[in-house]
Copies of this chain bind each other. A is one copy, B any other.
Protein backbone atom coordinates (compact mmCIF):
# COMPACT_ATOMS: atom_id res chain seq x y z
CA UNK A 1 0.00 0.00 0.00
CA UNK A 2 1.41 3.37 -1.01
CA UNK A 3 -0.13 6.75 -0.23
CA UNK A 4 0.97 10.28 -0.97
CA UNK A 5 -0.43 13.55 0.34
CA UNK A 6 0.65 17.16 0.09
CA UNK A 7 0.21 19.93 2.66
CA UNK A 8 0.43 23.48 1.30
CA UNK A 9 0.81 26.47 3.61
CA UNK A 10 -2.37 28.51 3.81
CA UNK A 11 -4.42 25.69 2.25
CA UNK A 12 -3.89 22.71 4.53
CA UNK A 13 -2.56 24.51 7.59
CA UNK A 14 -2.64 28.15 8.76
CA UNK A 15 0.48 30.05 7.75
CA UNK A 16 1.43 30.73 11.36
CA UNK A 17 1.47 27.03 12.30
CA UNK A 18 4.59 26.06 14.28
CA UNK A 19 7.22 24.21 12.26
CA UNK A 20 7.14 21.14 14.51
CA UNK A 21 3.37 20.89 14.06
CA UNK A 22 3.69 21.20 10.28
CA UNK A 23 6.14 18.29 10.27
CA UNK A 24 3.90 16.20 12.50
CA UNK A 25 0.79 16.85 10.43
CA UNK A 26 2.47 16.11 7.09
CA UNK A 27 3.17 12.59 8.29
CA UNK A 28 -0.11 12.25 10.21
CA UNK A 29 -2.33 12.77 7.17
CA UNK A 30 -0.47 10.03 5.32
CA UNK A 31 -0.52 7.62 8.26
CA UNK A 32 -4.26 8.27 8.41
CA UNK A 33 -4.57 7.13 4.78
CA UNK A 34 -2.63 3.96 5.61
CA UNK A 35 -4.82 3.43 8.69
CA UNK A 36 -7.94 3.57 6.53
CA UNK A 37 -6.58 0.63 4.53
CA UNK A 38 -5.64 -1.32 7.63
CA UNK A 39 -1.96 -1.13 6.70
CA UNK A 40 1.01 -1.24 9.08
CA UNK A 41 3.35 1.70 8.34
CA UNK A 42 6.79 0.70 7.04
CA UNK A 43 8.68 3.60 5.45
CA UNK A 44 8.17 7.09 4.08
CA UNK A 45 9.83 9.93 2.21
CA UNK A 46 9.50 13.68 2.75
CA UNK A 47 9.83 16.30 0.00
CA UNK A 48 9.86 19.82 1.36
CA UNK A 49 9.79 23.18 -0.40
CA UNK A 50 10.80 26.29 1.56
CA UNK A 51 10.79 29.91 0.32
CA UNK A 52 14.35 30.35 1.59
CA UNK A 53 16.88 28.26 3.51
CA UNK A 54 15.98 28.22 7.21
CA UNK A 55 17.78 25.59 9.24
CA UNK A 56 15.99 26.47 12.48
CA UNK A 57 12.57 26.01 10.89
CA UNK A 58 13.71 22.88 9.08
CA UNK A 59 15.12 21.25 12.22
CA UNK A 60 11.92 21.93 14.17
CA UNK A 61 9.82 20.56 11.31
CA UNK A 62 11.86 17.37 11.12
CA UNK A 63 11.68 17.02 14.91
CA UNK A 64 7.87 17.05 14.73
CA UNK A 65 7.90 14.63 11.83
CA UNK A 66 10.22 12.18 13.57
CA UNK A 67 8.33 12.38 16.86
CA UNK A 68 5.25 10.93 15.17
CA UNK A 69 7.35 8.55 13.05
CA UNK A 70 8.84 7.07 16.23
CA UNK A 71 5.36 6.47 17.66
CA UNK A 72 4.44 4.41 14.62
CA UNK A 73 7.83 2.84 13.95
CA UNK A 74 7.94 4.18 10.40
CA UNK A 75 11.36 4.83 8.83
CA UNK A 76 12.16 8.03 6.94
CA UNK A 77 14.16 6.64 4.03
CA UNK A 78 14.57 9.58 1.69
CA UNK A 79 13.91 13.23 1.15
CA UNK A 80 14.31 16.32 -0.94
CA UNK A 81 14.59 19.93 0.16
CA UNK A 82 14.17 22.62 -2.41
CA UNK A 83 13.14 26.22 -2.94
CA UNK A 84 9.49 27.14 -3.46
CA UNK A 85 6.29 28.10 -1.64
CA UNK A 86 6.09 26.24 1.69
CA UNK A 87 4.83 22.75 0.90
CA UNK A 88 5.39 19.22 2.18
CA UNK A 89 4.70 16.01 0.31
CA UNK A 90 4.99 12.73 2.13
CA UNK A 91 4.84 9.35 0.45
CA UNK A 92 4.30 6.46 2.82
CA UNK A 93 4.33 2.73 2.28
CA UNK A 94 2.63 0.23 4.55
CA UNK A 95 2.00 -3.49 4.52
CA UNK A 96 -1.17 -5.48 4.94
CA UNK A 97 -1.73 -9.24 4.83
CA UNK A 98 -2.96 -10.35 1.41
CA UNK A 99 -6.74 -10.09 1.12
CA UNK A 100 -7.27 -8.14 4.35
CA UNK A 101 -6.88 -4.55 3.14
CA UNK A 102 -9.85 -2.28 3.84
CA UNK A 103 -11.37 -0.44 0.87
CA UNK A 104 -13.93 2.28 0.40
CA UNK A 105 -15.98 0.22 -2.07
CA UNK A 106 -17.03 -2.56 0.31
CA UNK A 107 -20.04 -1.10 2.16
CA UNK A 108 -23.11 -3.37 2.23
CA UNK A 109 -26.78 -2.53 2.61
CA UNK A 110 -27.75 -2.93 6.27
CA UNK A 111 -24.28 -2.05 7.61
CA UNK A 112 -23.92 0.22 10.59
CA UNK A 113 -21.89 3.37 9.95
CA UNK A 114 -19.26 4.14 12.60
CA UNK A 115 -16.77 6.89 13.28
CA UNK A 116 -13.83 6.95 15.66
CA UNK A 117 -12.98 9.68 18.16
CA UNK A 118 -14.79 13.01 18.08
CA UNK A 119 -15.47 15.30 15.15
CA UNK A 120 -15.25 19.06 14.73
CA UNK A 121 -12.45 20.05 17.10
CA UNK A 122 -10.00 20.77 14.30
CA UNK A 123 -12.57 22.78 12.36
CA UNK A 124 -13.38 24.85 15.44
CA UNK A 125 -9.68 25.49 16.11
CA UNK A 126 -9.20 26.52 12.48
CA UNK A 127 -12.18 28.89 12.62
CA UNK A 128 -10.85 30.52 15.77
CA UNK A 129 -7.36 30.83 14.29
CA UNK A 130 -8.64 32.37 11.05
CA UNK A 131 -10.67 34.87 13.05
CA UNK A 132 -7.65 35.79 15.13
CA UNK A 133 -9.05 34.31 18.33
CA UNK A 134 -7.13 31.98 20.57
CA UNK A 135 -8.53 28.65 21.70
CA UNK A 136 -7.54 26.05 24.24
CA UNK A 137 -4.37 24.04 23.69
CA UNK A 138 -6.53 20.93 23.60
CA UNK A 139 -8.51 22.19 20.61
CA UNK A 140 -5.49 23.62 18.85
CA UNK A 141 -3.71 20.29 19.33
CA UNK A 142 -6.50 18.55 17.45
CA UNK A 143 -5.88 20.83 14.46
CA UNK A 144 -2.09 20.82 14.55
CA UNK A 145 -1.29 17.34 15.87
CA UNK A 146 -3.92 14.92 14.56
CA UNK A 147 -3.68 11.35 15.83
CA UNK A 148 -3.76 8.85 12.95
CA UNK A 149 -5.83 5.81 13.92
CA UNK A 150 -3.30 3.21 12.82
CA UNK A 151 -3.97 0.63 15.53
CA UNK A 152 -7.72 0.87 14.95
CA UNK A 153 -7.35 0.51 11.18
CA UNK A 154 -5.16 -2.55 11.56
CA UNK A 155 -7.68 -4.10 13.98
CA UNK A 156 -10.67 -3.56 11.71
CA UNK A 157 -9.63 -6.30 9.26
CA UNK A 158 -12.28 -9.02 9.48
CA UNK A 159 -14.69 -6.68 11.29
CA UNK A 160 -15.33 -3.69 9.02
CA UNK A 161 -16.56 -3.77 5.46
CA UNK A 162 -15.69 -0.33 4.02
CA UNK A 163 -13.34 2.20 5.61
CA UNK A 164 -12.12 5.73 4.81
CA UNK A 165 -10.33 8.43 6.73
CA UNK A 166 -12.26 11.63 7.42
CA UNK A 167 -9.89 14.24 6.08
CA UNK A 168 -12.42 16.04 3.88
CA UNK A 169 -15.32 15.84 6.32
CA UNK A 170 -17.43 12.87 7.40
CA UNK A 171 -20.34 13.55 5.03
CA UNK A 172 -18.14 14.11 2.00
CA UNK A 173 -15.95 11.10 2.72
CA UNK A 174 -18.94 8.90 3.51
CA UNK A 175 -20.30 10.04 0.15
CA UNK A 176 -17.15 8.63 -1.46
CA UNK A 177 -17.83 5.29 0.26
CA UNK A 178 -21.43 5.30 -1.01
CA UNK A 179 -20.42 6.18 -4.57
CA UNK A 180 -17.69 3.53 -4.64
CA UNK A 181 -19.92 0.87 -3.08
CA UNK A 182 -23.09 1.65 -5.05
CA UNK A 183 -25.12 2.19 -1.89
CA UNK A 184 -26.76 5.02 0.04
CA UNK A 185 -26.40 6.25 3.60
CA UNK A 186 -28.68 7.65 6.30
CA UNK A 187 -26.92 9.61 9.00
CA UNK A 188 -28.15 11.02 12.32
CA UNK A 189 -26.41 14.39 12.62
CA UNK A 190 -27.09 14.53 16.37
CA UNK A 191 -25.19 11.28 16.74
CA UNK A 192 -21.93 12.75 15.43
CA UNK A 193 -19.57 12.47 18.40
CA UNK A 194 -18.46 15.77 19.92
CA UNK A 195 -15.79 16.57 22.49
CA UNK A 196 -16.72 18.43 25.66
CA UNK A 197 -14.71 21.37 24.35
CA UNK A 198 -16.80 21.52 21.17
CA UNK A 199 -20.06 21.20 23.06
CA UNK A 200 -19.01 24.08 25.29
CA UNK A 201 -18.23 26.28 22.28
CA UNK A 202 -20.99 25.53 19.79
CA UNK A 203 -24.75 25.27 20.17
CA UNK A 204 -26.41 22.01 19.21
CA UNK A 205 -28.23 23.04 16.03
CA UNK A 206 -25.29 24.10 13.92
CA UNK A 207 -22.66 21.83 15.40
CA UNK A 208 -22.86 19.28 12.60
CA UNK A 209 -21.51 21.82 10.13
CA UNK A 210 -18.23 22.08 12.03
CA UNK A 211 -18.29 18.34 12.59
CA UNK A 212 -18.41 17.69 8.87
CA UNK A 213 -15.95 20.41 7.86
CA UNK A 214 -12.97 18.08 7.66
CA UNK A 215 -9.41 17.85 8.97
CA UNK A 216 -10.41 15.33 11.64
CA UNK A 217 -8.33 12.32 10.54
CA UNK A 218 -10.65 9.92 12.26
CA UNK A 219 -11.86 6.74 10.54
CA UNK A 220 -15.36 6.23 9.17
CA UNK A 221 -16.21 2.59 8.53
CA UNK A 222 -19.16 0.31 7.95
CA UNK A 223 -19.78 -3.06 9.58
CA UNK A 224 -22.49 -5.69 9.89
CA UNK A 225 -24.71 -5.06 12.98
CA UNK A 226 -23.55 -8.51 14.18
CA UNK A 227 -20.16 -6.90 14.85
CA UNK A 228 -21.38 -4.46 17.52
CA UNK A 229 -20.04 -6.58 20.37
CA UNK A 230 -16.68 -7.06 18.69
CA UNK A 231 -16.44 -3.33 18.16
CA UNK A 232 -17.28 -2.62 21.79
CA UNK A 233 -14.41 -4.88 22.82
CA UNK A 234 -12.10 -3.20 20.32
CA UNK A 235 -13.08 0.25 21.54
CA UNK A 236 -12.22 -0.74 25.10
CA UNK A 237 -8.96 -2.44 24.28
CA UNK A 238 -7.68 0.42 22.11
CA UNK A 239 -9.23 3.14 24.27
CA UNK A 240 -10.73 4.71 21.16
CA UNK A 241 -14.31 6.00 21.19
CA UNK A 242 -16.43 4.39 18.46
CA UNK A 243 -19.83 5.86 17.65
CA UNK A 244 -22.63 4.54 15.46
CA UNK A 245 -23.92 7.43 13.34
CA UNK A 246 -26.25 5.77 10.84
CA UNK A 247 -26.91 2.96 8.39
CA UNK A 248 -26.08 1.96 4.85
CA UNK A 249 -29.23 1.70 2.70
CA UNK A 250 -30.05 0.64 -0.84
CA UNK A 251 -30.11 3.04 -3.75
CA UNK A 252 -27.62 5.89 -3.62
CA UNK A 253 -27.02 9.29 -2.13
CA UNK A 254 -26.88 10.47 1.42
CA UNK A 255 -29.70 11.60 3.70
CA UNK A 256 -29.22 13.25 7.06
CA UNK A 257 -31.65 13.62 9.95
CA UNK A 258 -31.75 15.71 13.10
CA UNK A 259 -32.55 14.58 16.66
CA UNK A 260 -36.30 14.66 15.89
CA UNK A 261 -35.94 12.53 12.80
CA UNK A 262 -36.53 15.51 10.49
CA UNK A 263 -34.48 15.41 7.31
CA UNK A 264 -31.77 18.07 7.07
CA UNK A 265 -30.84 19.49 3.70
CA UNK A 266 -27.12 18.93 3.22
CA UNK A 267 -25.48 21.86 1.53
CA UNK A 268 -21.96 21.65 0.28
CA UNK A 269 -19.66 20.95 3.19
CA UNK A 270 -16.20 19.59 3.65
CA UNK A 271 -12.69 20.82 3.40
CA UNK A 272 -12.09 23.46 0.81
CA UNK A 273 -9.60 21.90 -1.56
CA UNK A 274 -10.11 19.89 -4.67
CA UNK A 275 -8.98 16.49 -5.90
Task: List chain A positions with a Cβ less than 8 A from chain B.
Answer: 2-6, 8, 11-12, 43, 45-49, 53, 77-85, 87, 89, 91, 272-275
* Bound-state Cα–Cα, A192 to B2, Å: 41
Residues on B with C-beta less than 8 A from A84 are 6, 8, 11, 85, 87
Residues on B with C-beta less than 8 A from A78 are 2-4, 91
Work out how many copies of this chain go into the complex. 2
Contact B2 A80 (CB under 8 A): no
Residues on B with C-beta less than 8 A from A273 are 82-83
Contact A81 B274 (CB under 8 A): yes
Of B4, B11, B43, B80, which contacts A80 at CB under 8 A? B4
Residues on B with C-beta less than 8 A from A8 are 49, 82-85, 87
Contact A43 B2 (CB under 8 A): yes
Contact B91 A47 (CB under 8 A): yes
A-B contact pairs, 8 of them (CB 8 A): A2-B77, A2-B78, A4-B78, A4-B80, A4-B91, A11-B84, A81-B274, A84-B85
